[in-house]
Structure 1
Amino acid sequence: MTDSLQLMPSGRIPVELGNIPELDLLELLGTGAFASVWKARDPRTHRLYALKVIQDLEPGSVLCDRVKLEAEVRIESPYIIPSVGLRQWDASTFLIVFDYYQAHSLDQWIAGALLTWEQKRLIFQQILWGVRDAHRHNIIHRDLKPSNVLVNSAHAVKIIDFGISKFYGKGMTRTGEVMGTPPYLPPEAFLQGSLLADARTDIYAIGHILYELEMGQHFWRRQGWSRLEHFFTQYLHQTPEPTEAIDLRDFRGQMYPNSREAIALMVKTQVAQRIDSVEAILTLLGLHDPDPTEIRDTKVRLGFPLLRVESGSNRDACLPINLADGETRSIGRGEIAGNDVSISRKHLFVRRYGTQYCAGDHGSTNGTLHNGRILAKGQSVWIKHGDHLKLGDVFLRVEFREDSPP
């Protein structure tokens, strides 16, 4: 710990974030490999916050850049605790301030057997909504588990600790390092590392969370497993080889009529066979979603797309793409983010078909995400107003305009 930060109850830290000049530390809420989280209070307003202190990073490393870059991205969701702001304390230390949420973690609720089936359904649906909102912004949590889901006394959910997605993105996972909590990580995370994580990484964890809500314990715990080898050497090496990471033969589901089917599709051992979007899970379970975060714009939007940069030094820059029918345009770092080397020189292509536009990956070095899903080389998807793209380490929002570009 850094002594000058006074990381102890009753210590005071000058955070200097907008209207928050300093915070008093009240209670240590938790610690991790490189961070501690504190309950804190503004001594002037008495408002409570959660303060995350990230320390001992290598100065000038990609990880430091990721902290500064991705802390700028705002996930528009009532089910995710937003950050208030970030301050760099020194070359290796960062402070992130969040709104404080009075609640207990979902693992505590499950362990206490305190939830009715109706309450479990309410909680699980909110988890789905929150993860879907993050995926729409191309943020993959990578460490979803009950301890990262806060549930208050009214059973309202807030997802916390996007630390791995925020601080261990593509720039940190090129080495194939595994990030996350093993019982909730899919097999490909151990075989290929976290570089290729997309929405299906989180969906695998969601399947385990649904199982845990239904059965009262994680599948690994019910099997008496304590090490990763139990899963790989005992379970996956059976003959015939299991196609799901959970044995559902003794499953007793009461939350949804097709819980068994949903879990099986979420925890497929082969990523290509796994259900690939939270929207598909909501549909499968018959959950009617009011979708409060969906962009609803009554104005008819025709014409051309505009790509708006949402992170980094080029934030708020806009790139209009007005093409003739059948025309294709290649886009790279020069057009989007100047010298950001996480974007290839030819990274994305955009093509017009009639009144519609599609976008695809040119075979870039660090990949492209569209609403949380990795695009394969040459693969294209239709884009619409409100979609989100992530090129390398840079986040973009798609907006459609009716006027002509300047």
Structure 2
Amino acid sequence: MVMRKVGKYEVGRTIGEGTFAKVKFAKNTDTGEGVAMKVLAKSSILKHKMVDQIKMEISIMKLVRHPNIVRLHEVLASQTKIYIILEFVTGGELFDKIVHQGRLSERESRRYFQQLIDAVEYCHKKGVYHRDLKPENLLLDSQGNLKISDFGLSALRRQGVELLHTTCGTPNYVAPEVLSHKGYDGSAADVWSCGVILYVLMAGYLPFNETDLPTLYKKINAAEFSCPSWFSSEATALIKKILDPDPDTRIRIEDIKNHEWFQKNYVAAGHGRDESVNLDDVQAVFDDIEDQYVSEQRGNNDMGPLIMNAFEMITLSQGLNLSALFDRRQDYVKRQTRFVSREPAKVIISTLETVGESMGLKVRARNYKMRLEGVSANKAGQFAIALEVFEVAPDLFMVDVRKAAGDTLEYHKFYKQFCSKLEHIIWSPSGISSKSESLSRAPSC
């Protein structure tokens, strides 16, 4: 079993995975505080020429200090890796809430939108444009407050440069001027994305959603959408001012904040005085730093899957109710999901591989870990799933499934199809019926 310590942080399980980084839960041994540790391999970012972008992301996250933005605590480095220590946000993605509830009430949507606009306005005043605003990059803390994350595609305004030129972001949320490959105002582009997010919060679906990119781009360029009947007239009017395809006439943040609909129950975020931020260490993390920052102890894990104890299982299940591990009839799926099997670990792995290949996905497997890769439904980017098999008891294994790349809603659809092909290896205790998610009558794990 792998034991790892990075500086003063004890590193735990992987809680997220992206194209160039993994995010692990870690504990500050000095304070006992839980943090999220973003781990990047230097070789990978050098290979993909991502050095400048990663430096930019770290610099931006050090610059922005706002209650509705995930906080960067510090950055560490070893000879081979970079470790970005971030605030650990426990409430999950805002997207999970939308998938679960279908849509949010206008009052709740407005509260999240107010927090989003406050944070985006703060970023713009700092000269920072996010450029990839979408529900998957909006997290919720334990009090239900919104936190913007993932500044990997952000841009800093440079002296004398008024327009940005890089096309980036998720197609469904991107402003038409960004798609035109001409220069665009980062502030107006972020406002458009905020409008799409508000629509999704209140409607439960996207205003622009086509499977082929040409049709999607055509509808975005023409702002071809309609608001559902349950939107209030005030909300509809504001959304139409935000989703204006002309960035010159699109409503600005200051006017959004003065809008009658926005002002209802509005409480401005108080972030106090700006702290002085020193960026000298950002360059330093890319230098050759000796291993005094990082100590690692590795055990031999070639004997089989890692063993997960009861405490870790309960922690991953976010409470004592473990029914989600066993009940495949749950009505929604988060970006990280798990199921249990009594088949031998090697049978589980081979079955996952067979099913992945049958779904047209590229399969990579090693040491009871697997990655399934394909192209997203609208062919706009990569779609990837990470899986790992754990032993939770003798002859009982848990399969941890995570979205590694792609859209969360697409993952939601994939997972249901994936599980339907795995019914013969998924185990459900006899005590759980289709109408019950209680584990009270189920055999103990």
The verdict on a shared fold, with TM-score over 0.5 as the criterion, is: yes
The separation in 2 between residues aligned to 1:39 and 1:175, in whole angstroms, is 35
Query: What is aligned with 2:234?
Result: 258
Q: What is the letter of the counterpart of residue 86 of structure 1?
A: V
Alignment length (residue pairs) = 272
The separation in 1 between residues aligned to 2:2 and 2:224, in whole angstroms, is 46
Cα distance change, pair 274–90 in 1 and its aligned pair in 2 (3 A):
farther
1:183 Cα offset (Å): 0.7
The separation in 2 between residues aligned to 1:78 and 1:218, in whole angstroms, is 27
- The 5-angstrom pairing of residues 313-324 of structure 1 reads 313=280
Say yes or no: does 1:247 pair with 2:247.
Answer: no
Q: What is the letter of the counterpart of residue 12 of structure 1?
A: R
- The 5-angstrom pairing of residues 137-176 of structure 1 reads 137-152=126-141, 154-165=143-154, 176=165
Say yes or no: does 1:281 pair with 2:256.
Answer: yes
State which drifts further: 99-108 or 119-128. Answer: 119-128
Say yes or no: does 1:54 pair with 2:46.
Answer: no
- The 5-angstrom pairing of residues 261-340 of structure 1 reads 261-277=237-253, 279-284=254-259, 285-287=261-263, 289-293=266-270, 312-313=279-280
Q: What is the letter of the counterpart of residue 216 of structure 1?
A: G
Asked if 2 retains the 8 angstrom alpha-carbon contact of 1:22 and 1:43, the reply is yes
The separation in 2 between residues aligned to 1:30 and 1:86, in whole angstroms, is 18
1:138 Cα offset (Å): 1.7
1:33 Cα offset (Å): 2.3
1:188 Cα offset (Å): 1.9
Query: What is aligned with 1:38?
Result: 24
The separation in 2 between residues aligned to 1:112 and 1:275, in whole angstroms, is 31
The separation in 1 between residues aligned to 2:263 and 2:220, in whole angstroms, is 32
1:182 Cα offset (Å): 1.0
Q: What is the letter of the counterpart of residue 51 of structure 1?
A: M
Cα distance change, pair 29–220 in 1 and its aligned pair in 2 (3 A):
farther
Say yes or no: does 1:101 pair with 2:89.
Answer: yes
Once the two structures are superposed, residues 75-114 of structure 1 have per-residue CA deviations (whole angstroms, 9 ceiling, x without a partner) of 23211111001123347x4211111111021111111117
Q: CA RMSD in A?
A: 3.5
The DSSP-based 3-state class of the residue aligned with 2:153 is: helix
Asked if 2 retains the 8 angstrom alpha-carbon contact of 1:29 and 1:37, the reply is yes
The separation in 2 between residues aligned to 1:99 and 1:295, in whole angstroms, is 18
Say yes or no: does 1:200 pair with 2:191.
Answer: no
The separation in 1 between residues aligned to 2:158 and 2:211, in whole angstroms, is 29
The DSSP-based 3-state class of the residue aligned with 2:154 is: helix
Query: What is aligned with 1:231?
Result: 216
Asked if 2 retains the 8 angstrom alpha-carbon contact of 1:253 and 1:259, the reply is no
Segments of 5+ residues of structure 1 without an aligned counterpart are: 1-8, 298-307, 316-406
Asked if 1 retains the 8 angstrom alpha-carbon contact of 2:112 and 2:146, the reply is yes
Segments of 5+ residues of structure 2 without an aligned counterpart are: 283-445
Of all paired residues, the percent bearing the same amino acid is 22
Query: What is aligned with 1:390?
Result: none
Asked if 2 retains the 8 angstrom alpha-carbon contact of 1:86 and 1:95, the reply is yes
Cα distance change, pair 153–65 in 1 and its aligned pair in 2 (3 A):
closer
Query: What is aligned with 1:394?
Result: none
Say yes or no: does 1:185 pair with 2:174.
Answer: yes
The separation in 1 between residues aligned to 2:141 and 2:276, in whole angstroms, is 35
The DSSP-based 3-state class of the residue aligned with 1:163 is: coil
Asked if 1 retains the 8 angstrom alpha-carbon contact of 2:66 and 2:271, the reply is no
The DSSP-based 3-state class of the residue aligned with 1:87 is: strand
The separation in 1 between residues aligned to 2:57 and 2:191, in whole angstroms, is 24
Asked if 1 retains the 8 angstrom alpha-carbon contact of 2:127 and 2:157, the reply is no
1:226 Cα offset (Å): 2.1
For residue 4 of structure 2, the aligned residue among 12, 17, 21 is 12
The separation in 2 between residues aligned to 1:229 and 1:188, in whole angstroms, is 15
Asked if 2 retains the 8 angstrom alpha-carbon contact of 1:133 and 1:293, the reply is no
1:212 Cα offset (Å): 0.9
Larger % of helix: which? 2
Q: What is the letter of the counterpart of residue 101 of structure 1?
A: V
The DSSP-based 3-state class of the residue aligned with 2:62 is: coil
1:38 Cα offset (Å): 1.7
TM-score by length of 1: 0.58
1:257 Cα offset (Å): 3.9
For residue 123 of structure 1, the aligned residue among 112, 119, 127 is 112
State which drifts further: 59-68 or 155-164. Answer: 59-68
The separation in 1 between residues aligned to 2:58 and 2:203, in whole angstroms, is 40
The DSSP-based 3-state class of the residue aligned with 2:257 is: helix
The DSSP-based 3-state class of the residue aligned with 1:57 is: helix
Query: What is aligned with 2:206?
Result: 218
The separation in 2 between residues aligned to 1:312 and 1:41, in whole angstroms, is 24
Asked if 2 retains the 8 angstrom alpha-carbon contact of 1:123 and 1:155, the reply is no
The DSSP-based 3-state class of the residue aligned with 2:45 is: coil
For residue 10 of structure 2, the aligned residue among 16, 19, 23 is 23
The DSSP-based 3-state class of the residue aligned with 1:252 is: coil
Query: What is aligned with 2:304?
Result: none
Once the two structures are superposed, residues 57-79 of structure 1 have per-residue CA deviations (whole angstroms, 9 ceiling, x without a partner) of 22795335435543431x23211
Q: What is the letter of the counterpart of residue 119 of structure 2?
A: G
The separation in 2 between residues aligned to 1:280 and 1:103, in whole angstroms, is 30
Once the two structures are superposed, residues 233-269 of structure 1 have per-residue CA deviations (whole angstroms, 9 ceiling, x without a partner) of 4x368xxxx3xx2412x53353x54212211121222
Asked if 2 retains the 8 angstrom alpha-carbon contact of 1:53 and 1:95, the reply is yes
